[in-house]
A and B are shown apart, each in its own frame.
Chain A
Amino acid sequence: MTRKQKRLTVIGGALGFLGLATALTFYALGQKASYFYMPADLQQATLPPGERIRLGGLVEEGTIVRGQGTEVAFSVTDKEKSVKVVFNGLLPDLFREEQGVITEGTFRPDGVFVADSVLAKHDETYMPKEVADSLKAKGVWQESTQ
């Protein structure tokens, strides 16, 4: 092989590799990215059964029910609609009523959301960005000034 051919082979190989990596990345983005919804958004959305989503909102007052052992049920609300969520595990330290949370999981056929993770932010003045944006758009919540 001449020097030029060799270089072309190397560049071709590298481009092929990059192409593969790009294809993999976008395939994975299509498969593994999960969408974020607020309870009121769910009406328009048609979710395939078993689709993983992130559900965000405020923990509705008076809905936290501790069940057997580590099971907890509560409702997530955007002050318009609310969705019942069940979760089996340890809740984050900052989980409480009226706190902004993001839960991740899937819907059961009966419309109850089964979360496998619950996120509350580690700052008492902090609201998850998605939740804050949506609540602000609805005029339910204003940014508190420090």
Chain B
Amino acid sequence: MIVETGHFALVLAFALALVQSSVPLVGARFGNERMMAVGGPVAITGFAMIALSFAALTIAYVQSDFSVANVWENSHSLKPMLFKITGTWGNHEGSMLLWVLILTFFGAQVAAFGGNLPASLRANVLAVQGWIGAAFMLFILATSNPFARLTPAPFEGRDLNPILQDIGLAIHPPMLYLGYVGFSVCFSFAVAALIDGRIDAAWARWVRPWTLAAWTCLTGGIAMGSYWAYYELGWGGFWFWDPVENASFMPWLAGTALLHSALVMEKRSALKIWTLLLAILTFSLSLLGTFLVRSGVLTSVHAFATDPSRGVFILAILTVFIGGSLALFAFRASSLSAGGIFQPISREGALVLNNLFLTTAAATVLIGTLYPLFIEAVSGDKISVGAPFFNLTFGLLMIPLLAVVPFGPMLAWKRGDLPGAAQRLMFAFGGALLAVLVVLLFVDGATVFAALGAGLAFWLILGALTDIVLKAGIASVKPAVALRRLVGLPRSVFGTALAHLGLGLTVLGIVGVVSLETENIVTMRPGETLQVSGYTLRFEGIQPFKGPNYTEDQGRFVLSGSGGRALGEIVSAKRFYPVRQMPTTEAGIKTLGLSQLYIALGDATADGGVVVRVWWKPMVTLIWLGGLVMMIAGVTSLMDRRLRVGAPAKRARPGLSAS
């Protein structure tokens, strides 16, 4: 009964989405206030319906109702409760429902907090949200119904893919979707502005908090996904340039560009048309990502059950939305007025450079990801484009971009002073140079690449700190005054500095692990020891262990530091899930400072030993800590007075604001 209610609520939500897509739009076109006002309540009710539908599916999972095909395929009565709940979206149907839940959630936010948006803009935004919602609800109802019943109901379920039975599933997909789908609001605002034929700095002030919120969630989702893959797959890598990863990374790159260009538009009312285009492109890349993940057209380490009919459906959605919005853009963009002018050396100039590099980087990732499809279609050859391609092209694009990042916040709007900025960055540059020398002279096995990479990372970190120090005047005025100024700085200044600092930390982590990582693949018998980067690892032996829905062989290792200092035990296991007949590797990871020791167990050898893979990963945790700092930066910026989520009140002089 609950399940049928959920299904019915989904159908109702689809009907509501159709109303939301049309009535407010017609109202906005003919200036009918009552028709425009329909959008808000319908969007909120639609969200309530999807929430009800999602709750029904969750209840079916919690109760292990195997008469529902989706629950039978992806759950098991012995599965721990957390994984029963997260299992709701650990499969295609449920995750699409989560996608729509988040979409309607954002639509409801616009409806609830968009009270001071111009009525026609609000109506159009909600209508566009309605189109996206209707398309995906139809997709779920037509090809991926999560509520389909099975008769007779099986006695026991087939269990969730063991790889997904992890806390990562509770965090990674919802965060990622909040990011992906958050950009739909920017997209809707862009399309609504095109329909309206009007765009001004106030538009950017409404769009920026959404971009920021979506970007923050996407950053967190990607970082979490990277860490999850790192510890769960047992390969010890943090990024594989896998098509599915690229699918989430492309919207991130475009979204980062959008974040910066919206800033220019808000403050200087320049780059209007470009910002609009970026808003469309960012969400288009999110849609493309959904297509790549869901259709299985590309070989990926992520195994999703795929179905060609679904791929065709999403491809149709993709074509209509991307094609339609770009056509609308081509048709209407010329009617929008161009904005303010600026010198090439200025804050605007720096942000344009940022946009140029980020969008080009996103384009190279896009080309690399889709090239195998293209070649197969043209010549029938099967090729793979992997890490070597992306490291070369993406890496080469990122180095100059990272090198100019600290200059951006130092330059004034409209007309900047480059020598002055360089002078103010002297300390940061000196620090970076020092880092290069220290790495070259004192770190064993460091290459020139490692030294330069560390220098670049410190340049970013120190540059970000310099920005705060100068803006608060810490070096030039009395401490009490400086403290007052520091507290009084706009939150968005801290946001910028923290985001750039986090980027520097991530770069430092990547450089550390790429250039200084050591790997040992050895056969160990109980009692044997291994020396790793000054630590001694002793293998104690293997013990069997029984979990709720798996059995495992736990390899126990004792770690000691220099002079025999005990550092505790590391357990690395090979787990076996009998329902799916599937083994998994549970890596043993010990965090030592910022670095990690990573142990994966292999097969037993004929002579009574076991193959063990031991990595020393210097500074690896910085990769994700940097992501966390970037998230904190996003949240800090969101708390800025000027940028409340929803729509800030109109200012006395729209388009101008002091910084």
Least Cβ distance of B335 to chain A in Å?
A: 20
Cα(A28)–Cα(B364), bound, Å: 10
A112 cross-chain contacts in B, Cβ below 8 A: none
C-beta contact mask, A1-22 vs B, less than 8 Å → 1, else 0?
Answer: 0010010011000100110010
Closest to B388 in A: A32
Q: Is the CB of A89 within 8 A of B521?
A: yes
- A21-B360, A32-B385 as given contacts; A121 in contact with B303, CB under 8 Å: yes
Contact partners of A24 in chain B: CB under 8 A: 364, 392-393, 396
Contact across chains for B163 and A17 when beta carbons are under 8 A apart: no
Cβ contact within 8 Å between B344 and A6: yes
Known: A121-B303, A123-B303, A130-B299. A33 touches B371 (CB 8 A): yes
Q: Is the CB of A70 within 8 A of B303?
A: no
Q: Which residue of B lies closest to A7 (CB)?
A: B341
Q: Which residue of A31, A35, A91 contacts B603 across the interface (Cβ within 8 Å)?
A: A91
CB distance from B387 to the nearest CB of A (A): 9
**How far, in angstroms, from A95 to B249 measured CA to CA in the complex?**
29
Nearest B residue (CB) for A21: B360
- The number of inter-chain residue pairs (CB within 8 angstroms) is 115
Known A-B contacts A90-B600, A94-B582; the reply to A33 vs B389 at CB < 8 A is yes
Pick from A6, A21, A33, A66: contact of B385, CB below 8 A.
A33
> Is B480 part of the binding interface, using a Cβ–Cβ cutoff of 8 Å?
no
Do A34 and B305 contact each other (CB < 8 Å), given the known contacts A66-B605, A69-B605, A70-B521? Answer: no
In-complex Cβ contact of B368 among A29, A124, A128, A129 (8 A): A29
Interface of chain B residues 356 through 372 with chain A (CB within 8 A): 356, 360, 363-364, 367-368, 371-372
Q: 1/0 contact trace for A35-59 toward B, CB 8 Å?
A: 1100000000000000000100000
Inter-chain contacts of B574 with A (CB < 8 A): 93
In the assembled complex, which residues on chain A have CB atoms less than 8 Å from the CB atom of B383? 33-36
Q: A26 CA to B341 CA in the complex, in Å?
A: 35
Q: Which residue of A lies closest to B609 (CB)?
A: A69
In the bound complex, residues from chain B placing their C-beta under 8 Å from that of A36 are 381-384
Q: Which chain A residues in 115-134 approach chain B with CB under 8 Å?
A: 119, 121-126, 128-130
Which chain A residues border B603 with CB–CB below 8 Å? 66, 91
Q: Is the CB of A119 within 8 A of B389?
A: no
Which of chain A's residues has its CB closest to B234's CB? A93
Q: Given the complex, which residues of B lie within 8 Å of A31, measured CB to CB? A: 388, 392
In whole angstroms, what is the CA distance A88 to B611 when docked? Answer: 11
Would you give the 0/1 interface string for B581-624, flagging 1 where the beta carbon is closer than 8 Å to chain A? 11111000000000000001011011000010100000000000
Which B residues touch A14, using CB under 8 A?
Answer: 356
Known: A91-B602, A94-B583. A122 touches B611 (CB 8 A): no
Cβ-defined contact, A21 with B522, below 8 A: no
Give the distance in Å from the alpha carbon of A17 to the alpha carbon of B359 in the complex: 12
Q: Are B521 and A93 in contact (CB under 8 A)?
A: no
Residues 149-186 of chain B: 1 if any A CB is under 8 Å from the residue's CB, otherwise 0? 00000000000010100000000000000000000000
A14 vs B360: C-alpha distance when bound (angstroms): 10
Contact at A17–B360, with CB atoms within 8 Å? Answer: yes
Which residues of the other chain, A, contact B163 by a CB distance below 8 angstroms?
122
Cβ-defined contact, B392 with A54, below 8 A:
no
Q: Does chain B have a CB within 8 A of A142?
A: no
**Interface SS majority for chain A:** mixed
A31–chain B nearest beta-carbon distance, Å: 8
Give CA–CA (A93, B586) in the complex, Å. 11
In whole angstroms, what is the CA distance A136 to B584 when docked?
A: 28
Q: Would you call A25 an interface residue if the criterion is a C-beta within 8 Å of the partner chain's C-beta atoms?
A: yes
Q: Would you list which residues of chain A between 61 and 80 have a CB under 8 Å from chain B?
A: 66, 69-70
- 1/0 contact trace for B523-542 toward A, CB 8 Å? 10000000000000000000
Nearest neighbor of A133 in chain B, beta-carbon distance: B382
Give A6 to B600 CA distance when docked, in angstroms.
58
Report how far A24 CA is from B363 CA in the complex, Å. Answer: 12
Judge if B489 is at the interface, Cβ distance under 8 Å: no
User: Closest chain A residue to B301 by CB distance?
Assistant: A122
Q: Which of A18, A25, A123 contacts B367 (CB 8 A)?
A: A25
CA distance A129 to B368 in the complex (A): 18
Whether the pair B386, A32 counts as a contact (CB closer than 8 A) is yes
* B585→A93 contact, CB < 8 A: yes
The residue that B606 contacts in the complex, of A25, A28, A29, A66, with Cβ under 8 A, is: A66
Bound: A90/B234 CA distance, A: 10
Interface residues of B in 385-417 (CB under 8 A from A): 385-386, 388-389, 392-393, 396-397
Give Cα A24–Cα B233 distance, bound, in whole angstroms.
Answer: 32
A128 B299 Cβ-Cβ under 8 A: yes
Closest residue to B389 on the A side, CB-wise?
A32
Interface centre among A10, A29, A54 (most CB of B within 10 A): A29
- The 4 tightest CB contacts between A and B, nearest first, are A123-B303, A36-B382, A32-B389, A32-B388
Binding site for B on A (CB under 8 A): 3, 6, 9-10, 14, 17-18, 21, 24-25, 28-29, 31-36, 54, 66, 69-70, 88-91, 93-94, 102, 119, 121-126, 128-130, 146
Not counting A10-B344, A21-B397, A146-B73, a sample of 20 additional A-B residue pairs whose C-beta atoms are within 8 angstroms of each other reads A18-B360, A24-B396, A25-B393, A28-B388, A32-B388, A32-B392, A33-B389, A35-B381, A35-B383, A54-B384, A66-B605, A66-B606, A69-B521, A69-B523, A91-B602, A121-B301, A122-B302, A123-B305, A124-B581, A146-B305
Give me 18 A-to-B residue pairs in the complex whose CB atoms sit less than 8 angstroms apart, sorted by A's number. Answer: A10-B352, A17-B356, A21-B363, A21-B393, A29-B385, A33-B375, A34-B386, A70-B523, A70-B611, A91-B602, A91-B603, A119-B301, A121-B301, A121-B303, A122-B233, A123-B303, A129-B296, A129-B299
